[in-house]
Amino acid sequence: MKILFFGTPDFAAPCLAALLDAGYEVVGAVSQPDKPQGRSMKLMPTPVKALAESRGVPVFQPDRLKEGQLRETLEQLQPDLCVVVAYGKILPDYILDFPKYGCINVHGSLLPRWRGAAPIQWAVLAGDKITGVTTMHMDRGLDTGDIIDVQTTEIGAHETAGELFDRLAAMGARLLCDTVAKIAAGVATRTPQPAEGACYASMLSRDMAVIDWNRSADALDCFVRGMNPWPVAYTTLNGAPVKIFACEPVACDGKTELPGTVLSAGGDGIVVSCGHGALRITELQAQGGKRMPASVYCNGHKLPAGTRFGEWA
């Protein structure tokens, strides 16, 4: 079976590696164009491109797909199956209809929940207890195709979106190989997605990362973990931004200070009042400083009770 792989970021690379390690004939890898990164704005290959080139797989990076830029490539490679993992672009009909076995996708959620670009982050942001990976037959909708296989996992109480991302990437690679084996054997199933429970996971942005201290401590705990490692939740202190990397809800003794008010600060972190309950900040980064434990920050900065986070200058 000839496979043409579509993928771009870190989440997709383990899937490509798994197919190659399993001995499947990957005739090419389609990835998004290289983008400038870092202060030098040097063009850097996508994770999928870097892996493919290291394994001798031809790489294709069309700027667009709708005008038929891959028609000639498809005719030359004659893939039996297209595997799509976080490619980042919608596949037009001429690609979806070309392979003998169609196109399949690995998605980082339990569809139909969290269709879209950022399913892993939104599962954490929403406080979901369980998530997983889904393989599906692709159709012309956004993550709406018939389900083939599903694997579930619990989200850890302290797990960040980045940590969950790494776990689901590995799970997705294993599930993909199982799915491709079923397709090759002619035993892959098709289960239509239910209409109930469908929701959309939009891309995250820096504008979304501002902490609203009026929310409950439990909700803010999910928020901080869901925004880690990017774009990172932040608040303000004396008008300057402060990134919050880790925190935990704590029991509140009934104090009624305004949300965002520091209740205590010291060796066990910074406890801040919320709309309901309190949150202990355990890791942060002040403007111009390094990421550090909150206890270390308190050693060098006075933060008396009554100080308020979230006030702008």
152 and 264 inside one domain: no
The answer to whether residue 282 sits within a structural domain is yes
- The answer to whether 70 and 62 are in contact (CB under 8 A) is yes
CA–CA dist 148, 158 (Å, integer): 30
Q: Tens of pLDDT along 108-159?
A: 999 999 999 999 999 999 999 999 999 999 999 999 999 999 999 999 999 9
The answer to whether residue 292 sits within a structural domain is yes
Which of 136, 168, 201 finishes a domain? 201
Please report, to the nearest 10 degrees, the dihedral formed by the alpha carbons of residues 93, 95, 96, 99 taken in order. 140
Which of 163, 183, 201 finishes a domain? 201
1 SS3 class: coil
CA–CA dist 278, 259 (Å, integer): 9
CA–CA dist 201, 115 (Å, integer): 6
For the whole prediction, is pTM greater than 0.85? Answer: yes
CA–CA dist 34, 47 (Å, integer): 10
Torsion over CA: 100, 145, 70, 10 (sign): negative
Query: Could you give the number of structural domains in the chain?
Result: 2
73 and 221 inside one domain: no
Which of 180, 201, 222 finishes a domain? 201
131 and 217 inside one domain: no
Please identify every stretch of the chain with a pLDDT value under 70, giving residue numbers as ranges. 253-256, 312-313
Its domain, for residue 153, covers: 2-201
289 SS3 class: coil
160 and 211 inside one domain: no
Cα→Cα distances 142→3, 92, 112, 151, Å:
22, 12, 10, 20
170 and 226 inside one domain: no
225 and 290 inside one domain: yes
- The answer to whether 4 and 30 are in contact (CB under 8 A) is yes
For every residue of 158-223, DSSP letters joined together read: T--HHHHHHHHHHHHHHHHHHHHHHHHHT----BPPPSTT--EEPPP-GGGGB--TTSBHHHHHHH
pLDDT of residue 313: 44
pLDDT of residue 35: 86
92 and 47 inside one domain: yes
pLDDT of residue 253: 67
pLDDT of residue 256: 66
The answer to whether residue 91 sits within a structural domain is yes
Q: Tens of pLDDT along 52-72?
A: 999 999 999 999 998 899 999
CA–CA dist 217, 211 (Å, integer): 11
* CATH number of the domain within which 253 lies: 3.10.25.10
pLDDT of residue 311: 75
pLDDT of residue 257: 83
CA–CA dist 263, 259 (Å, integer): 10
pLDDT of residue 251: 86
* CATH number of the domain within which 192 lies: 3.40.50.170
The answer to whether residue 165 sits within a structural domain is yes
